[in-house]
Structure 1
Amino acid sequence: MELSQKRFVTIICTYIRAVNGVYGGAAHDAHVWSLSNERQYMPSNYQNGDKSSWLIGDSGYPLEPWLLAPYRNAEENSLESLHNEKFTKAKSIIERVFGILKSRFRLQYAPKKVVKILNVCCALHNICLIYNVEAPTVIEINEERSNLALPNVDQNEFSRIAQTIRDRIKISLRS
C-alpha cells in the first residue's frame, strides 16, 4: 500500500481505499494524514500485533513503524541510496494511480466542486479495476517534492522502530 497526497486528496492504494478531499489543497499532505481515520487505525493495528503492514510516503511524512519514508541525504552508491531508488520505484505506483484517475475523469473543476464528486470518481475507478476496464493511454505523472522536516527521531520510540525496519530492508538489498 502507498500513501500520497496531490493537491486535494489523500489516497491509499492499489485500489483507492481512503479518500479525503476536505482540505482542497490548502493543507500539507502530512497534516491531512495526521488527522485521518487511517492514521488513527495504523498505530492501533501495529500495537495489536500487525508488524508487517507498511505504507510508504515521501520525505514529508514522519517515520513510523507502519509508515516508511526514504533516507535523507543518502550518499551516492550507498545502501541508503539503493533503498531510496527501490523506494522511488515503489512510490511510482501512486503516481500512476493519480495519472489514471485524472485521465479517466478529467476533473478540471474548482476544488470545491471536485470534493463533491471525488468519492464517486474513486469508486468508479475501483470498479474499472475490478472489471478490467482498460486505463486511458495518456497518463500524467507529476511528482511533487515535500520540504517538511522529519521530527527529531531520537525523541520518538516509534521513529526508532521505523528506522530499524527501514534499515533491515536496506540491508536485505545486499543479496
Structure 2
Amino acid sequence: MRIRAIDARYGGASHDSFVFSLSSYRRNLEQKWNDGDRRSWLLGDSGYTLEPWMMTPYRTAQEGGREEHFNTIHSKCRNIVERTIGVVKSRFRCILGARQLHYSPEKCIQIANVCAALHNICKKFAVPDVPVVETIEGDEHEVAASNLNQLSNIAAEIRNQIKDIL
C-alpha cells in the first residue's frame, strides 16, 4: 500500500486516465516498451486506454468465460489502489474533502504530496492504519475507446495471452 507516484497538478474533476496520459510515468513505460521490455504493466480501470503497458478489463466479458475470470482477477489486483486511497484520506482528513481545501492550487498540490510522503513513512515504520471513512465520489467518467491502432491490437493480444494463462 505504498504510493509509487503522485501527480496532484490537475483538479479533482480530471479523470485519472487524463492525468496518466500526460504523465512522465506513462512516457517511461512507453519508452521501456520501445526498448523491448514486455513484462511491465499497470492495471487500469475501463476508463483507461488499453495499451501494451496498461492492462484494462474487458468491456463485454461473457459470463462464466475466461474474459470474466480475467476481469475478476484484474479487479482484485486493482482493489489495493482504492484501499490505499481510502487509507490516505482517512489518515489525513484534510484531503477527505479535497475539493474544499481553502488554499491556492499550488498549496493543495504540496499538501497532497506531503500526505503521500507521510503515508509512505507510516507504512515503512508499520504505523497502524486508521479506519477508512466512507466517502461519496463522483461517477467515474467512461472514456470512449478510440480507433484501434497497432499498439491497441498488441495490447489486446497481450491481455488475451494473460487471460488464457489464468
Q: How would you bin the TM-score normalised by the shorter chain? A: 0.7 to 0.9
What is the letter of the counterpart of residue 17 of structure 1? R
Matches within 5 A, 1:113-152: 114-140=108-134, 145-152=140-147
Decide whether aligned partners of structure 1 residues 139 and 164 sit closer, same or farther in structure 2, where only a CA change above 3 A counts: farther
Deviation track 1:60-99 (CA, whole Å, cap 9, x = no partner) reads 1111111010001111111111111111111111010001
Matches within 5 A, 1:71-150: 71-106=58-93, 107=95, 108-109=97-98, 110-111=100-101, 112=105, 114-140=108-134, 145-150=140-145
Greater relative contact order structure (CA < 8 Å, 6+ sep): 2
1:56 aligns with 2:50: no
The whole-number CA distance in structure 2 between the counterparts of 1:142 and 1:163 is 33
Q: Which runs of 5+ in 2 are unaligned?
A: none
Deviation track 1:103-162 (CA, whole Å, cap 9, x = no partner) reads 110124525353230101100011111111111123547685332112222xx1111111
Normalising to structure 1: TM-score of the pair? 0.82
How many residues end up aligned between the 2 structures?
Answer: 158
What is the letter of the counterpart of residue 171 of structure 1? D
Matches within 5 A, 1:148-163: 148-153=143-148, 156-163=149-156
Deviation track 1:42-65 (CA, whole Å, cap 9, x = no partner) reads 110111122111001011111111
Q: Partner of 2:159 in structure 1?
A: 166
What is the letter of the counterpart of residue 160 of structure 1? N
Q: What is the percentage of aligned positions where both structures have the same residue? A: 45
Deviation at 1:31, TM superposition (A): 1.5
Normalising to structure 2: TM-score of the pair? 0.87
Q: Which runs of 5+ in 1 are unaligned?
A: 1-13
What is the letter of the counterpart of residue 82 of structure 1? H
